[in-house]
Structure 1
């Protein structure tokens, strides 16, 4: 089994119309996953997906109102590759006619019912690993960009804290007080640092205590530097 400690930091949305199956798997997953949100159909799942920070979706294929395939299609149409949330289908042998659709949608895996928890954890790990690796690469690139602007002092600690505590979608949730306490600095220093990052468009304030790391800008800057180096 892989090291799965990072699963405790994940929020998973589980869409399943069978109440017994939903409760049974949710109870088992609670031992591994930090937060589990459940939905009884695709329509409810779509609403919950839009109103919560979701790191991974597990969806039954055959559900009322909106089935799993259509749910995945709607979600993927609204996302970019870099910010995409992995989707895993839970399916019975009788659902094989839908598997071609899941392949076309480039979903991240499927598990057969009845669900084996070890198998599911392996599929979750396989789906999350590329995102984790991408996050690490982006974090290094972003940190280099930040270091071009900020030199030494507690500002670097603030930046590192934000990078280390953002989720798989490059979103950071946290208050100025939380950052200040963790970094051993003042709230004023944190506020000034974050505002400078916003002014540089390296951070985007989504709402109160929520910030998105501008990976598109970082990527563009990295590509620009690469072109200059190759010139």
Structure 2
């Protein structure tokens, strides 16, 4: 199944590697370098899936997820992060609690990404 994916990731190395993996799997990928750009792109046309980093400049991933949920409640979302906590709570636990279907801890492998997409789209 070919998906339209919005990838929101501020790290250029991760962004490039992940977009290549997704494109090699046959998906169409819109690449965004921060949360503000991601929200603009994700609201401008239909996507099957958004994959967003959590810790980013301008608009963080938690806010991206909240806003996407408000305006597109059926949109599939995968959150990813290399770490980060609020008190004793992991940012990815927060992402899951506010609407991310799947979460990934960076660094991620191709297999982890593809399995997360498969699980996410099956929900």
In structure 2, which of residues 33, 48, 64 is the aligned counterpart of residue 40 of structure 1? 33
Q: Does 1:119 align with 2:112?
A: yes
The 1-side partners of 2:66 and 2:120 are apart by 17
The 1-side partners of 2:109 and 2:50 are apart by 17
Q: How does 1:137-148 map to 2 (within 5 A)?
A: none
The 2-side partners of 1:66 and 1:15 are apart by 11
Unaligned runs of 5+ in 2: none
In structure 2, which of residues 51, 66, 76 is the aligned counterpart of residue 86 of structure 1? 76
The number of aligned residues is 120
Provide TM-score, normalisation by structure 1: 0.49
CA deviation map 1:108-157 (0-9, x unaligned): 01111111110111111111013xxxxxxxxxxxxxxxxxxxxxxxxxxx
Q: How does 1:2-41 map to 2 (within 5 A)?
A: 6=1, 8=2, 10-41=3-34
Secondary structure (helix, strand or coil) at the match of 1:30 reads helix
Structure 1 moving runs of 4+ over 2 Å? 93-97
Provide TM-score, normalisation by structure 2: 0.90
Q: Which has the larger radius of gyration?
A: 1
Q: How does 1:1-231 map to 2 (within 5 A)?
A: 6=1, 8=2, 10-80=3-73, 84-95=74-85, 97-130=90-123
Secondary structure (helix, strand or coil) at the match of 1:76 reads helix
Higher helix share: 1
Of structures 1 and 2, the one scoring higher in RCO (CA 8 A, sep 6+) is 2
